[in-house]
């Protein structure tokens, strides 16, 4: 599944459209240096940590998009950075687990290859 299809299906708010990338799993973590080491390529990253560094970590480990859970607020700097690096940032109203679960279920529903990881 691709990012655009994911937010279409789940009705997430689009904060920055970015690149339409393959999503093949879900990763959850708010500690950046843990995400840096454990985040997997092409995972949708569900987090409540919303700042410029979230975008930096996402691009460095090649996760496919950032899904801000719990309706987390974002600042201009983060959106600027997301634009600059062409990173898709969406927002869900649900908490981290529920958000990750619905992404997981959606991916499963579409029969995609899936690796699930949560720290």
Ligand X SMILES: Nc1ncnc2c1ncn2[C@@H]1O[C@H](COP(=O)(O)OP(=O)(O)OP(=O)(O)O)[C@@H](O)[C@H]1O
Tell the burial category of 90 from Cβ atoms under 10 Å away from its Cβ (0-12, 13-18, 19+): buried
Per partner kind, with CB cut-offs from 5 to 8 A, the member of another protein, ligand X, none near residue 40 is none
Query: DSSP labels for 42-70?
Result: TEEEEES--SHHHHHHHHHTT-SEEEE-T
3-state DSSP: the chain helix, strand, coil percent, rounded to 5?
A: 40, 25, 40
x/- map, 11-50, ligand X, by CB under 6 A = ---------------------xx-----------------
Q: Return the residue of 45, 81, 82, 102 that touches another protein, per CB under 8 A.
A: 81
Instruction: Provide the minimum distance between the beta carbon of 60 and another protein in the complex, in angstroms, as a whole number.
Output: 4
Beta carbon nearer to ligand X, 47 or 99 = 47
Q: Which residues here bind ligand X, judged by CB under 6 A?
A: 32-33
């Amino acid at each position: 599944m691709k990012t655009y299809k994911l937010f279409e299906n789940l009705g997430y708010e689009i904060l920055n459209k970015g690149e339409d990338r393959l999503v093949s799993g879900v990763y959850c973590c708010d500690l950046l240096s843990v995400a840096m080491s454990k985040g997997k390529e092409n995972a949708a990253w569900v987090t409540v940590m919303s700042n410029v560094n979230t975008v930096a970590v996402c691009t460095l480990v090649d996760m496919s998009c950032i899904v801000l859970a719990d309706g987390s607020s974002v600042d201009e700097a983060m959106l600027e950075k997301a634009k600059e690096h062409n990173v898709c940032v969406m927002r869900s109203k649900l908490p981290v687990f529920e958000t990750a679960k619905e992404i997981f279920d959606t991916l499963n529903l579409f029969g995609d290859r899936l690796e699930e990881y949560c720290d």
